[in-house]
Amino acid sequence: MTQKSNIQNFLRGFTAETTPGSATKIADYREHLRPGTVVYITFLPGSHFSDTISVARRLRNEGFIPVPHFAARSIPNEKSFNDYLHQAVGEAGVDRVLCIAGAVDKPVGQYTNSMELLDSGLFDKHGIKRIGLAGHPEGSPDMTDQSIMTAVKWKNSFRERSDAELYLVTQFAFEAEPVIAWDKKLQAEGNKLPIQIGIPGLATLKTLLMHAKACGIGNSMQFLIKQARNVSKLMKVNTPDRLVADLAQYQASDPDSGIDGVHVYPLGGLRRSAKWSYAVTDGDFTLDNQGGFRVDVELD
């Protein structure tokens, strides 16, 4: 296969993300995304799960596949957890979820991590068919690297006793090298969970820096800081073309790669990130001699 077709295949079938807040600013998701696209719904600390259900129901009605986040540290108790699942399945036809610990320092109730939600058996009880779990190519400020690897091994083991298909969804990164090194380490440790790599959507360097800092991303943060030394670049819209090209080449050349898909974080807004992503999957781009590419459609 050619480099161009590798890039197209890498991004084809990408998933997207939205929040209840951003949903209020989008008249119709069909203006930006193609029917059948998988759309994750972020659960922000302090928000109400009813907002998540409302967006999930809307996405389903507009022809998309909603994937609500279930954040362990924001769920008060087992009854609430059961109720949330009942609503998600019954009102929005949800059969896929993202199960995470959640960015809350102090849990609001009995759950402290995603493994406790998995072990409850409630996802299976409600017929959830696919469960995404957090992946951390550059580590996490909340866990040691050893704790992260122990959790990945536990989730691989749990996969054998669950009716659902489990997979990893990573935080976004800005360089391919740490992602590739992490993937190789996981495979060496026996990971069998497919990996959906997170990539940043189109956004200014200033916006990317803000999100990277909030998420505690290490090596990629340093990568951005180096670029930010050129102040003129702060408000320039960045595209993840080099990252996508490098990861596409790795996926195509390494048969042991665990990468199985791409999740686009629309950090600078859904419209522009989706338009860029579709241009890539449709082949509307031109390769350059620096290892990246340029899409051939207007983004604004």
Q: Say how far apart CA 72 and CA 118 lie, in whole Å.
A: 10
Is residue 68 a part of any domain in this protein?
Answer: yes
Mean per-residue pLDDT, 81-91: 98
pLDDT in tens, 20-39: 999 999 999 999 999 999 99
Is the predicted pLDDT of residue 226 greater than 60, yes or no? Answer: no
Strands 203-204 and 285-287: unpaired
Q: Considering the domain boundaries, does residue 183 fall inside one?
A: yes
Q: In CATH, what number is assigned to the domain containing residue 131?
A: 3.20.20.220
Q: pLDDT above 90 covers what percent of the chain?
A: 75
pLDDT tens by residue, 183-216: 999 999 999 999 999 999 898 777 666 655 555 5
Q: Are 68 and 94 in contact (CB under 8 A)?
A: yes
The pLDDT score that the predictor gives to residue 44 is 84
What pLDDT score does 218 carry?
55
Q: What pLDDT shows up at residue 78?
A: 97
Asked, for residue 228, whether it belongs to a domain, the answer is no
Q: Which tokens sit at 229?
A: 């030394």
With a cut of 90, say whether residue 156 has pLDDT above it.
yes
**CA–CA distance, 82 with 96 (Å, rounded to integer):** 15
**284: confidence class by pLDDT, cuts 50, 70, 90:** very high
pLDDT of residue 143: 78
- pLDDT category at 138 given cuts 50, 70, 90 is confident
On average, the pLDDT of the chain sits at: 90
**Does residue 167 form part of some domain?**
yes
Query: Residue 223: is its pLDDT beyond 90?
Result: no
Contact between 96 and 38 under an 8 Å Cβ cutoff? The reply is yes
User: Does residue 215 lie within any of the structural domains?
Assistant: no
The mean per-residue pLDDT over the stretch 125-154 comes to: 90
pLDDT at 234: 46
User: Residue 231 pLDDT more than 50?
Assistant: no
The conformational region for residue 17 under phi > 0 = left, psi -120 to 50 = alpha, else beta, is beta
Residue 276 confidence (pLDDT) above 80: yes
CA-wise closest residue to 68 among 83, 54, 82: 54
Angle at 214 (CA atoms; ends 48, 230), nearest 5 degrees: 145
Contacts of 195 (CB under 8 A, 6+ apart): 135, 167, 168, 170, 183, 186, 258, 259, 260, 261
- What is the β-pairing status of strands 237-238 and 165-172? unpaired
Q: What is the mean pLDDT of residues 272-285?
A: 97
Domain total in the chain: 1
pLDDT tens-digit map of 248-266 = 999 999 999 999 999 999 9
Nearest to 237 by CA among 212, 264, 200: 200
Evaluate whether residue 71 is within a structural domain. Answer: yes
Q: What's residue 232's pLDDT?
A: 45
* Other beta carbons within 10 Å of 222: 12
User: Beta-carbon neighbour count of residue 169 at 10 Å?
Assistant: 22
Query: In which domain, by residue range, is 34 found?
Result: 3-202+238-278
Tell whether 223 is covered by a domain: no
pTM of the model: 0.91
The whole-number pLDDT of residue 36 equals: 98
Query: 66 forms bridges with which residues in the sheet?
Result: 39
63-72, 143-152, 232-241: segment of lowest average pLDDT: 232-241
Could you read off the pLDDT of 37-46 as tens digits, one per residue? Answer: 999 999 988 8
Question: What gap in Å lies between CA 9 and CA 100, rounded to an integer?
Answer: 28
Residue 73 within a domain: yes
Q: How far is residue 99's CA from residue 236's CA, in Å, rounded to a whole number?
A: 34
What pLDDT is stored for residue 95 in this prediction? 98
